[in-house]
Every structure is written in structure tokens, then in C-alpha cells.
Amino acid sequence: IVQIEDDRTATSVEALKRAILDNLYYIVGTTQANASNQEFFAAVAYTVRDRILARWFATLACYKQQDVRVVCYLSAEFLMGPHLANNLLNLDLEEPIRQAVAELGRDLGVIEEQESEPGLGNGGLGRLAACYLDSMATLGVPAIGYGIRYEFGIFSQQIRDGWQVELTDYWLRYGNPWEIRHPHEAVEVGYGGRTEGWTDSTGRYRVRWVPASVVRGVPYNTPIVGYRSGIANDLRLWRSESTESFYFDRFNSGDYQGAVAGKTFAENISKVLYPNDEEIQGKELRLQQQYFFTSCALQDMIRLHLRAGRQIDTFHEKWAIQLNDTHPSIGVAELMRLLVDEHGLDWEKAWEITSNTFSYTNHTLLPEALERWPRPMFASILPRHLEIINEINARFLSEVRKHFDGDEARVSRMSIIDEHGEKFVRMANLACVGSYRVNGVAALHTELLKKEVLRDFYELWPEKFINVTNGVTPRRWLAVSNPEQSALMTRRVGNGWLNNLDELKQLEGLAEDAAFRAEWRRVQHDVKVRLTNYILEATGISVDPSSMFDVLVKRIHEYKRQHLKVLHILTLYFRLKRKPNLEMAPRTFLFGGKAAPGYAMAKLIIKLINSVAEVVNTDPDVKHRLKVVFLPDYDVSLGQKVYPAADLSEQISTAGKEASGTGNMKFAMNGALTIGTLDGANIEIRDAVGHENFFLFGLTADQVQSTLAQGYRPRAIYESNPFLREVIDSISSGQFSHRDQNLFRPLLDQLLNSDPYLLFADYQSYIDCQDRVTEIYRDQEQWSRMAILNAARMGKFSSDRSIREYSENIWRVAAITLC
Ligand code: 26W
């Protein structure tokens, strides 16, 4: 028998080699001899994508056949990171591809490095969406991710003279082999204009929206492969384009300028990701973006629903829409508009459908991050939606009045429209009213939502509120990022942990095994050498891989307190200045993270870190015992290099400010010990790994509140603590700014006069705790024991557990098995 292998599906090394060369020649358009590594990457990616397509169609067919409820995860951000290595792991193709690539004369590691990551997110919220897509595909939860295909993702960061400089991120420069454009599934989205009444053929009064402009949304699909589940879900990102026909008139009448202006408006919508997190800007384009992808998503769902031969009034039975924060919450009004205006349902039926479809996840307690839109702006962009929101609000407020007889203060707090002074549309209120479930992302966060930010809503509908603690995917964050430690763990407990992270519990016993601990340290050292080489290449700084790697990577924000870390470094620095021969185990302080371009204080913090680095790293008294490194352009790819190499994970936000944190989980899974406050998921991590294996410091969320309420005076702490005073005075004196005493003035003034994030209140507790860290680190055996126990006990923080909770408690979807 002659067996013919299909070059697009077969997985033998020989077939893969043929397929790569074929794709290189016919798709990329080059030859093996001439191909750059970048082109070769594209050929490998196409080869992998070919092997996904059959699963993708099979998955869709299976969802259709089983008539399942589908989860639609609506998110303005998906911070996916590079796909190749992750897809190879999930498809179990890593070894044959590695060999095929090697036999074609290239190195898979080098090829993987060519992939430019789709940085379509700012930080935690966008990365969480990516982890959840991975877990949904792994568990077989039918899901579609809906978002925006930004042409420019999060800016790339350079450091010049210690300052952050932003460069545009044209991630599509070399094309994107993972996505498939589907122009025949395009939809139209309107903006502006007016509404008008009309009477339909049954004599019923109806309203229609006559937009002033219309743009086309074109979906680009990227398959999301589950870990060895045979399932591929769909990430659908929408690109805005102009509807040629709309501007044709202007063009024909000679108004070329006008025709092009319309095209520019349309194309601008999906042009660039807003680089802010945790602070709203109230910009028109942002609302246009939010409405754009939300409307595209809802139209797409309705099309799929009707195409399957179903009636519109069963919509909520077949679709569960998760709102990733309030960014897509305009969807509540849009679904009402589609059902009432376009599909002719009456209001009550439409509301029943809508309010049984949406759920809302809140990701932040910071008041400056709660979205609200000035009403006049909202009215000019979405006039029909404002009418609908007014109607939702009127009905809702009458329910509130019935329930809380006569409590007009409460009515005004809960109103979707903020009627005080300049009027606003409050998107969190709209999301709460339109959703059947509202969740926070860590136990403390959910409690604070119920007690403070959303208290009135909790009192009206306690049953709506639920906690789902965040999780991260152990595939990308352990298996792909840290192959050395993964192999070690798999040798001891098998590879079941990849889809059941609780299985790492079996490592607990090995913490007491001296040989295992030695092996653990050897692996950790190798991983640190890998990062050491990267640091040298990226920054020119040489660090000692046997020093403690003390790491703080996340967006730069005052509440995350990167500057508290600086106070610690300087405290150690002055100890060494006083006693140059003091015995001190060497530490390498690694920072990474981007500041929002308009956030002056965050940018000044970056400058401070680099200024301190410049002095400390070159001071002969320090004798290399302290090294400070700011790693530029922190992104998913860099995270994958950093988490595995960390010894100490810094999670030092002011208690009550960090909703959850997810970096904290990635570190601990990789065996780093955490120094942290009782904030967000830190609390649950500490409970899981054991209090004795976690370095706790600082005020609790309650203490933070009462400290501020009692008239907090940071200057008094400064005056009474000589070590803190020395550090602050040294910055003030210009010691780290070439004698410039003004450079860091805004930062110092803020700390001395108000210190809203309580750095001074937590300073001594932090320093004392760091001294305990140093003490324990001297006992490497003890440190290894604790590190192993941390890695072994992180099962709860797999995103698989989070997705199971969403599936059971919110979405009411069952995982499918392939038919
Ligand atoms: C409108 C500006 C804006 C943009 C993004 C405001 C707020 C956001 C996000 C909600 C910020 C964010 O990413 N929050 C983070 O979400 C993570 C995932 O749940 C949590 O782990 C982090 O603690 C939280 O800061």
C-alpha cells in the first residue's frame, strides 16, 4: 500500500519539512537559500496554522451539532503574546517541528524570537483575557473572543537618558500569519445623526436611528488552540474600514477632501490602542472604539443565531456575554436597540433577553478608572443609545424607589445618568443594571466592591454578586516560559499538571529531599544565566547570576509603589556607604514596566529608578553587591524570560488598591517567594502556599482607610525615622540627579505632604520584612524548601479553575467533548 501524507495536515518530520518549504515558496514567496529568519518564521507559522484548521472546523461543527450555549468574551484588549511556541506546545508539535526546522538548517529558538507579539493590551486586564481564552479552549468551553484588531498596539518603550520614550508599535509590519480575514462577514456600524419615529405595517410606533456616518467592521479570525484538547476556539478581532459606497457621492461631486475625510474617520477607529490603564481620558475616539467592536460582536452573534435557524427570542439561551470591565458595556444598550428597533421585539421581551445575557467583571476599585462619558458627547456619538439608556434608567429607578421607599439620595447615586453639574453616563451602573451577574477578581476585591464601589447595587441585588479569583495559564507561564523547571517537575510527578495544576501538590514531599533541592537550585541557576545574558544584551549591564534576583515588573503606577522599592534600595545603599565592609548577600533589582504616556508622575518614577541605578551600579563602595536594572519595553515576551528567573517577587501595592494582580501568580508558580501586602490575590496566594512561606508586610486595607481618615501626616514619619529621612534627603539634595534639586521635587513633595499611597506608613515594615528575606536567603536550603512549596501549592491559580467557576456559576455552559 502506498500511503500519501497530506502536506497540510501530516505531522511527521519529513512532511513538516516539505510543508515548511512549500509555504516558504508559495505563500511567503522566497526560497530556502534567500529566506531571512523572519520569512522562515512565517513559513513555520503557516505550517502550524494549516494543522489547526481541521480542528477549528471540527470544533465549530461540533458546537453546532450539540447546539451549545456559547460564551462571548468581549474585551477591548487581548494581550496574547507570541503564538508559535504556545501553539506548538498545545498541539504537541514541538519536537517534530524543532527537528524539521533543524534539518532545514535553522534553530527553532531563533525562529520563535522572530515573532512580533500582538501587544493589543495594556496589562492585567488584557492578559487575563488571553489566559482565559487558553483555558476555555483547553476545557472545551465553546467561546468566541471579540475585540479590536488595533493596527498599533501598546507603544514600545525605549529608555533615553533615563526617561521613557514611546515608539509606535507597528506589529503588522511583516504580516500576521495567524489571522484569517473574513470580508464576507463584515457588518456596518453607525455614528452620530438623529433618531426618527415611524409607524410599521401593524400600526405600531417605532424608532429608527439615522446615523450621520457608517463604517464597515471586518473580522479577522485567529484560532485559539486548547492544550491537547483537539479544540480550537475563535478570537475575532474587528478592523474598521470605510464603506466605499457611502462617500461615493461626495467623490463624484468633486469633494475629494470630504471623501477622504470620511475614509480617515472610518480607518482611525481601529488604528491605535489607548495606552492608559486605570485612568479614563473621556476621549471621543475611545467611545467610538468601544461601540465599534461591541456592535460588531452583537451583530455577529445575531447573524450566527439566525443562521442556525433559531428564533431571535431564544437569544439568551444560546449566548452568554462576558463584559471585561465596562469598556464593552455599551453593549447593553446596543442589544436593546438591535432587538427593539431592528428586530421589532417589544421592550419587555427585549429586556428579558438582554438582562439574561450579560455579566460584568469589574477589574478596578480606583475611582479615576470608573468610566463615565459626558452626556453631550455621548448624545452626539450615540443619540439612539442615550434614549435607550434613559428608558432603561427610568424603569430601573422606579424599581429602586419601590425597594428603598423615599431614599432619593440612593436613587441619585444609582442612576445611570449622573445628574450633578455637568452630566455623565456612568458605565458601571449601566453594566450592573444590564447584567445578571457581577463579579470581582479576588476575594478582597469582591468584598470591597460589595462594601464600597457597588454597595447600593449589592444591597438591591445581593444574589447578583460573586467572586471569581483570577488565574493564569500554566501552559504559557510555566511550560513555555520555563522548560527547565517544567522538565524537572514532570520527571518527578508526570505531566498531568499541565491540565490539572493541583497535581504539583505531589512535589510537597520533595521539599524535604536534599538531592531534589540541589537539582532545583541547579535549574534555577541555569535559568538565571539565561536572563543574565539577555540583560547584558538589552542594557549593557552585567549582573551576577548567583545574586538574588529581586523583581518588580508591572505597569508603572503610584498605587503599585515602584518608588517604595527605590526607598528600600537606597536604604541598603546607605548601609553600605556607612560600612563599606558590611557583609551583604548580593542582590540584583530588576524593574520593568511601561508608564501611560500622559502620566507624568509614573514617568518620573522611571527616571528615578534609572538615576538611582546610575549611581549605585558604579559606586566602588558597593562592590557589586547591589545592581539596579530597568529592563526596557516590558511585554509578554519579556515576562516569559523574567518570571522563571526571579527569586523574589515584589507585590507591594497599597492594600485595597490592586484588584487582584496576576503577575504575583506567575512568579509563585515559577518558584519565586513573594514579599507582599495583604492586597488582591496576594491574600489568597499566602493562604495557599502557607503563611510561613510568604513575606508579609504593611497595613491592611482597613488600616489604610482608618489611617487616612484619622488625618495621615507622612511628614511626621519622615521626621521621626532617620533612615527614611536619609533616603529622602539624598534624593532631595540632587545626589541622584547630577545636583539638580528640582528634578524629583514633585515626587518628594507629594510623599512629604500627602503620600496618598502610604509609602511612609509602610516603609519600616517593608524594610524589616526585607531584612528577614535577606536572612532566610542566606540559608539556601531553607529558601529552596519554601520555593518548592510555593510552586507545589499554586494549583488554585490556574486559569482552568477560574474558567470552571465562570462556567458553573455565571455562564451555565457545559464543556463539550469533541464529537
Ligand atoms: C479606561 C481606562 C482604563 C483602562 C483599563 C481603566 C481601567 C483599565 C483596567 C481595568 C485596568 C486593569 O488592567 N486592571 C487590572 O486587572 C487585572 C485583571 O483582573 C487585575 O489583576 C489587576 O489587579 C488590575 O489592576
What's the CATH code of the domain at 73?
A: 3.40.50.2000
572 contacts 613 by C-beta, under 8 angstroms: no
Confidence band (pLDDT; 50, 70, 90) for 368? confident
pLDDT at 2: 67
Residue 447 lies in a domain: yes
On whether both 31 and 8 belong to a single domain, the answer is: yes
Mean pLDDT of the 126-138 span: 98
pLDDT at 717: 98
- Determine whether the shortest distance from the Cβ of 124 to ligand 1 is under 6 A: yes
On whether both 42 and 156 belong to a single domain, the answer is: no
| Residue 697 confidence (pLDDT) above 80 | yes
On whether both 366 and 488 belong to a single domain, the answer is: no
Amino acid at 385: H
Catalytic residue among 83, 554, 594, 785: 554
Boundary residue ending a domain (449, 470, 491):
470
Count of domains forming the chain: 3
Q: Residue 633 is part of which domain span?
A: 474-797
Residue with cell 491592611: 700
pLDDT at 383: 98
Confidence band (pLDDT; 50, 70, 90) for 475? very high
Burial class (CB in 10 A: 0-12, 13-18, 19+), 54: middle
pLDDT at 3: 66
On whether both 40 and 129 belong to a single domain, the answer is: no
Q: Is 666 a catalytic residue?
A: yes
Boundary residue ending a domain (470, 495, 524):
470
Mean pLDDT of the 792-805 span: 98
- Determine whether the shortest distance from the Cβ of 471 to ligand 1 is under 6 A: no
241 contacts 220 by C-beta, under 8 angstroms: no
CA 322 / ligand 1 centre spacing (Å): 15
Confidence band (pLDDT; 50, 70, 90) for 213? very high
Q: DSSP string covering 349-379, please?
A: HHHHHHTTTEEEE-----GGGS-EEEHHHHH
Pocket test for ligand 1, best of 73, 131, 276, 277 (most atoms within 8 A of CB): 277
- Cα(37)–Cα(390) distance, rounded to whole angstroms? 56
> pLDDT digit string (tens) for 578-635?
999 999 999 999 999 999 999 999 999 999 999 999 999 999 999 889 999 999 999 9
Confidence band (pLDDT; 50, 70, 90) for 245? low
Residue with cell 509602610: 762
On whether both 38 and 137 belong to a single domain, the answer is: no
| Residue 514 confidence (pLDDT) above 80 | yes
Atom 6 in ligand 1: residue holding the nearest Cα: 278
On whether both 465 and 478 belong to a single domain, the answer is: no
CA 451 / ligand 1 centre spacing (Å): 20
- Determine whether the shortest distance from the Cβ of 554 to ligand 1 is under 6 A: no
- Cα(465)–Cα(458) distance, rounded to whole angstroms? 7
pTM of the model: 0.97
On whether both 651 and 736 belong to a single domain, the answer is: yes
Residue 372 lies in a domain: yes
Across-strand partners of 217?
187, 240
Confidence band (pLDDT; 50, 70, 90) for 247? low
pLDDT at 111: 98
Q: DSSP string covering 480-536, please?
A: IT-HHHHHHHHHHH-SGGGT-GGGGGGGGGGGG-HHHHHHHHHHHHHHHHHHHHHHH
Q: Is 560 a catalytic residue?
A: yes
On whether both 514 and 576 belong to a single domain, the answer is: yes
> pLDDT digit string (tens) for 267-322?
999 999 999 887 878 799 999 999 999 999 999 999 999 999 999 999 999 999 99
Boundary residue ending a domain (470, 505, 525):
470
Burial class (CB in 10 A: 0-12, 13-18, 19+), 74: buried
On whether both 129 and 93 belong to a single domain, the answer is: no
CA 306 to chain CA mean position, Å: 33
- Determine whether the shortest distance from the Cβ of 661 to ligand 1 is under 6 A: yes
Catalytic residue among 450, 555, 594, 785: 555
Q: Which conformational region is residue 340 in: left (phi greater than 0), alpha (psi within -120 to 50 degrees), or beta?
A: alpha
On whether both 608 and 683 belong to a single domain, the answer is: yes
- Determine whether the shortest distance from the Cβ of 123 to ligand 1 is under 6 A: yes
> Of 603, 654, 656, 658, whose CA–CA distance to 757 is shortest?
654
- Angle (CA) 202-208-214 rounded to 5° is 140
The percent of residues in the chain predicted with pLDDT above 90, rounded, is: 93
The b-or-e profile of 338-362 (16+ CB within 10 A means b, else e) is bbbbeeebeeeebbebbbebbbbbb
Residue 250 lies in a domain: no
629 contacts 652 by C-beta, under 8 angstroms: no
Residue 818 lies in a domain: no
Confidence band (pLDDT; 50, 70, 90) for 815? confident
> pLDDT digit string (tens) for 135-188?
999 999 999 999 999 999 999 999 999 999 999 999 999 999 999 999 999 999
- Cα(455)–Cα(457) distance, rounded to whole angstroms? 5
Q: Which long-range contacts (CB under 8 A, 24 or more apart) does 728-733 make?
A: 728/752, 730/570, 730/574, 731/570, 731/608
Q: Is 363 a catalytic residue?
A: yes
> Of 556, 551, 557, whose CA–CA distance to 591 is shortest?
551
pLDDT at 253: 77
On whether both 41 and 9 belong to a single domain, the answer is: yes
pLDDT at 64: 85
| Residue 36 confidence (pLDDT) above 80 | yes
On whether both 768 and 639 belong to a single domain, the answer is: yes
Residue 445 lies in a domain: yes
- Using CA atoms, how far residue 665 sits from 493, 498, 673, in Å, is 21, 15, 11
- Determine whether the shortest distance from the Cβ of 300 to ligand 1 is under 6 A: no
Pocket test for ligand 1, best of 122, 274, 278, 560 (most atoms within 8 A of CB): 278
Residue 499 lies in a domain: yes
| Residue 440 confidence (pLDDT) above 80 | yes
Residue 819 lies in a domain: no
| Residue 246 confidence (pLDDT) above 60 | no
Mapped onto helix, strand or coil, the DSSP state of residue 12 is: coil
The answer to which of 128-132, 405-409, 446-450, 756-760 has the lowest mean pLDDT is 405-409
- Determine whether the shortest distance from the Cβ of 679 to ligand 1 is under 6 A: no
How high does pLDDT run on average in the chain?
96
Quote the ipTM score: 0.96
Residue 787 lies in a domain: yes
Q: Which ligand 1 atom sits nearest the alpha carbon of residue 327?
A: 1
pLDDT at 248: 59
